[in-house]
């Protein structure tokens, strides 16, 4: 059991644990002090791992090693919107990484703003969306698909107003094939990422990340609401795990799942107008066009590259009179 004050030695030196920041069945994140100052130390959750099936343990270790491999492949100029790996090594035979320590994540930030009665303006939403799009562009450039974009994985550097993508354990190298199995978080997935194909695998690619970017856009604009499609998938997963997708497919029959209802589209437009700067145009038409493009049910209807997304964000800014 990890405790405050404990030392964890890595390649560059020892890190003293200060306080636990987050935890899940997979991993634990501690604030720790070491050669690089205060860092976020990410470790495998050993107590949970000890109770897991051996195949699950190997997946957890592989996931941590995947994250380390991806982050180590980056160059310093690639890290503007991707969390930096400062050090890595092993503790008790399990992989550990020291990451730059940021202030919060989008989920917690939005919740705090909502509790304080503050609304996030359209300029900030578009800035974060643009920055996450830049991060995904780097992930795709290096030959990976991210597959786990959600508010909790977007960290914020409050001092610089910068968003950074984190948690790459679910990422896959392109060409991994449909037999790689299920990956990601059900309530933030594209249809092809949640519903298995006829061959039993999942036909995901980089365009699956753009669907999640659209779901994030909707979430930010609506002050924390999820698309109904996403929340339904999340509920099915929580109740039935992998079988939940098959149950939903039987209910849908041959119909495609509706990813954006007319009611949700109307709400999105109203919220865009509320977020816009008083006295200026809202850019709602351009914003809705981007949302529909990102969350198209079929991957072929989504953007094919980050530049296309960046241009559509620029169109919203121009329509709303928002500076970059």
Give pLDDT tens digits for 263-280. 999 999 999 998 776 666
Whether the per-residue pLDDT at 177 is higher than 60: the answer is no
- pLDDT value, residue 170: 87
Whether the per-residue pLDDT at 248 is higher than 80: the answer is yes
Angle at 184 between CA 312 and CA 69, to 5 degrees: 90
Whether the per-residue pLDDT at 18 is higher than 70: the answer is yes
Give the mean pLDDT of 24-33.
86
Rounded-to-5 percentages of helix, strand, coil across the chain: 50, 20, 35
- pLDDT value, residue 178: 52
Give the residue among 289, 142, 130, 150 at the shortest CA–CA distance from 206: 142
Going by pLDDT thresholds of 50, 70 and 90, the confidence category of residue 75 is confident
- pLDDT value, residue 280: 67
- pLDDT value, residue 221: 96
- pLDDT value, residue 33: 97
Average pLDDT, the chain: 90
The percent of residues above 70 in pLDDT, for the chain, comes to 93
Lowest mean pLDDT: which of 186-200, 204-218, 285-299? 186-200
Give the mean pLDDT of 294-298.
96
DSSP designation for 280: S
Give the mean pLDDT of 221-227.
95
- pLDDT value, residue 282: 79
Going by pLDDT thresholds of 50, 70 and 90, the confidence category of residue 152 is very high
Distance CA(282)–CA(277), nearest Å, equals 7
Give the residue among 249, 242, 187, 243 at the shortest CA–CA distance from 212: 187
- pLDDT value, residue 195: 92
Whether the per-residue pLDDT at 67 is higher than 80: the answer is yes
Q: Per residue in 47-59, pLDDT tens?
A: 777 776 666 677 7
- pLDDT value, residue 27: 81
β strands within 182-237, DSSP E: none
Q: Which domains does the chain have, with CATH numbers?
A: 7-100 (3.30.200.20), 104-320 (1.10.510.10)
Lowest mean pLDDT: which of 80-84, 118-122, 176-180? 176-180
- pLDDT value, residue 284: 94
- pLDDT value, residue 20: 94
Within 10 angstroms of residue 197's Cβ, the number of other Cβ atoms is 11
Going by pLDDT thresholds of 50, 70 and 90, the confidence category of residue 99 is very high
DSSP designation for 175: T
Whether the per-residue pLDDT at 32 is higher than 80: the answer is yes
């Amino acid at each position: 059991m990890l405790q405050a004050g404990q030392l964890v030695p890595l390649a560059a030196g020892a890190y003293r644990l200060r306080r636990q920041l987050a935890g899940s069945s997979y991993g634990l994140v501690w604030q720790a002090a070491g050669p690089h100052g205060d860092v976020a130390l990410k470790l495998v959750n050993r107590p949970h791992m000890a109770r897991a099936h051996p195949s699950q343990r190997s997946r957890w270790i592989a996931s941590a090693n995947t994250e380390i491999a991806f982050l180590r492949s980056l160059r310093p100029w690639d890290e503007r919107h991707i969390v930096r790996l400062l050090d890595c090594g092993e503790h008790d035979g399990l992989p550990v990484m020291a990451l730059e320590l940021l202030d919060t994540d989008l989920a917690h930030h939005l919740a705090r703003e909502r509790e304080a009665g503050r609304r996030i303006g359209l300029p900030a939403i578009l800035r974060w969306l643009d920055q996450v799009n830049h991060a995904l562009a780097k992930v795709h450039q290096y030959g990976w698909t991210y597959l786990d974009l959600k508010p909790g994985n977007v960290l914020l550097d409050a001092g610089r107003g910068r968003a950074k993508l984190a948690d790459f354990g679910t990422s896959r190298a392109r060409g991994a094939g449909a037999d790689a199995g299920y990956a990601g978080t059900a309530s933030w997935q594209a249809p092809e990422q949640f519903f298995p194909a006829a061959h039993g695998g999942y036909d995901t690619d980089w365009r699956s990340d753009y669907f999640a970017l659209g779901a994030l856009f909707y979430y930010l604009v609506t002050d924390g609401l999820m698309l109904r499609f996403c929340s339904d998938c999340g509920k099915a997963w929580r109740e039935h795990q992998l079988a939940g997708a098959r149950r939903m497919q039987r209910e849908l029959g041959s119909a495609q799942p509706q990813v954006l209802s007319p009611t949700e589209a109307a709400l999105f437009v109203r919220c865009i107008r509320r977020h816009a700067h008083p006295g200026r145009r809202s850019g709602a038409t351009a914003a809705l066009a981007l949302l529909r493009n990102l969350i198209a049910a079929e991957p072929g209807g989504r953007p094919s590259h980050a530049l296309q997304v960046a241009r559509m964000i620029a169109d919203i800014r121009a329509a709303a009179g928002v500076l970059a």
